[in-house]
Amino acid sequence: MKYRVWHRTTYTYDEPVTDSLGVGHMTPRSLPWQHVSGDEVTVEPMPADLSHETDYYGNRMTYFQVTQPHTELRVTATADVESLAPTYDPAALAQPWENAAPVGRRDVPTAWQAVDFALQSSKVAHSDGARAYGAGSLVPGRPLADAVTDLMHRIYTDFDYETGATSVTSTVDDVLSKRAGVCQDFAHLTLACLRTHGVAARYVSGYLATTPPPGRERIVGADASHAWVAVWLPGSAGWLAVDPTNDQWVNDRYVTAAWGRDYADVSPLKGVIFSDATKSTLSVEVDVAPLP
C-alpha cells in the first residue's frame, strides 16, 4: 500500500518561549518492506538549526533549535511510504519461544545485539506481575508465534483501551492494576511480559492507516501515532511485529517510524524550552492518507 503520512505536533504557550530545542522521531525509517520517499520535517517558527541524523538504532532522528521568541511551536513531518506486509520464515515462527531469549546464546551470531532488547529499560521495568501474566502464554516449548499471538490476544481481551487511564509516567504495574491504557501502555506491557521471560522484543512506534466507517468520509488529522512490539526471531533476519492494541499482526497498513527499547528511546517529539510560561497546550494531528 502507498500512503502519505502527515504528523503535526503543535505546542502553544501562555508566555513567550525564547529558545526551544527538540529531538524528533517522526520520519519513517527505510526497511526491506517499507520504501520511504519525499520525507520532510518543517519547524515553525523558522529554526536556527535543523539537522537530520540516524540514531543508535538506525532510526531517522531530527534535531532542531528555534531561537526566535514564539508562543507557538509547530513541527510537521511528512513522508510518502510504500509498505508491504512483512513476511516471516515459517521455521523461525515455529521454534520454541525459549529460543528467542538471546542472553548467553553464543551460537546465534546476532544474539548479542538482541540482548539490548531483552533487558529491562527505563519504561519497562521487570515486574513480578508482568512475569506472572506472561507465563499464561509462554508455556514451555510452545511455538514462538503461537505464544506471542496468544499473549497479544489476551492483552487485547483483558485490557480496555482508555485514554486518560494512564499518563506518560505510568508504569507497567500501573497498567496491570488498572487493566486499561493506550497503545504505548499495551506495548510496554507486552514487552515486560516477554522480557521477564528472557525474550528479546522491541518497542516500535509508527502509524496505522485507519478506514472510515462505511459511508463516511475520511477525516484528515484524526489518526494517531501508534505503537506496537516486534519479537526477535533467532535464525532469521526478521522480528515478528504484533499489535496488542488491535489484536493483529502488523500488516501493510502499518508504517514503521522508529524502534528502540521503549517509548523513551523513540518518543515522536521531546524537547527543552526556555520560558516563563506556566501553561502549554499540545495538539497532535496525524493523517495517513492512501495514495493511488
Site for another protein in 179-208 (CB under 8 A): 182
Among the listed residues 2, 277, 285, 289, the single contact to another protein using CB under 8 A: 277
Pairing outcome for strands 280-290 and 2-24: antiparallel
User: By C-beta, is 67 or 251 nearer to another protein?
Assistant: 67
User: By C-beta, is 67 or 95 nearer to another protein?
Assistant: 67
> CB of residue 224 vs another protein: minimum separation in angstroms?
9
DSSP 8-state symbol, 119: S
Site for another protein in 94-123 (CB under 8 A): 103-104, 106, 112-113, 115-116, 119-120, 122
44 binds another protein (CB under 8 A): no
74 binds another protein (CB under 8 A): no
Site for another protein in 144-173 (CB under 8 A): 163, 167-169, 171-173
Pairing outcome for strands 269-275 and 254-260: unpaired
- Which range binds another protein by CB under 8 A, 30-38, 233-241, 251-259, 270-278? 270-278
Q: How far apart are CA 21 and CA 164, in angstroms?
A: 27
Residue 187 identity: A
Degrees, nearest 5: CA angle 188-189-192? 85
Among the listed residues 37, 51, 68, 177, the single contact to another protein using CB under 8 A: 51
> CB of residue 276 vs another protein: minimum separation in angstroms?
4
- What are the cell numbers at 55? 540514531
85 binds another protein (CB under 8 A): no
18 binds another protein (CB under 8 A): yes
DSSP 8-state symbol, 246: T
Specify the residue for cell string 503461537: 146
Residue 207 identity: Y
Q: Contacts with another protein: how many residues (CB under 8 A)?
A: 58
Q: Which of 79, 80, 76 is nearest to 22 (CA)?
A: 76
270 binds another protein (CB under 8 A): yes
43 - beta bridge partners? 75
Q: How far apart are CA 263 and CA 268, in angstroms?
A: 9
Class of residue 110 by CB neighbours under 10 A (exposed 0-12, middle 13-18, buried 19+):
middle
> CB of residue 190 vs another protein: minimum separation in angstroms?
17
68 binds another protein (CB under 8 A): no
- Which range binds another protein by CB under 8 A, 13-21, 34-42, 232-240, 242-250? 13-21
Helices 128-135 and 183-195: angle between axes, nearest 10 degrees: 80
Contact 241, 86 (CB under 8 A): yes
> CB of residue 42 vs another protein: minimum separation in angstroms?
17
DSSP 8-state symbol, 39: E
Q: Which of 258, 230, 275, 285 is nearest to 86 (CA)?
A: 230
User: By C-beta, is 29 or 249 nearer to another protein?
Assistant: 29
For another protein, the binding residues (CB under 8 A) are 11, 13, 15, 17-23, 48-49, 51, 53-57, 63, 65, 67, 73, 103-104, 106, 112-113, 115-116, 119-120, 122, 125-127, 163, 167-169, 171-173, 182, 265, 269-280, 282, 284
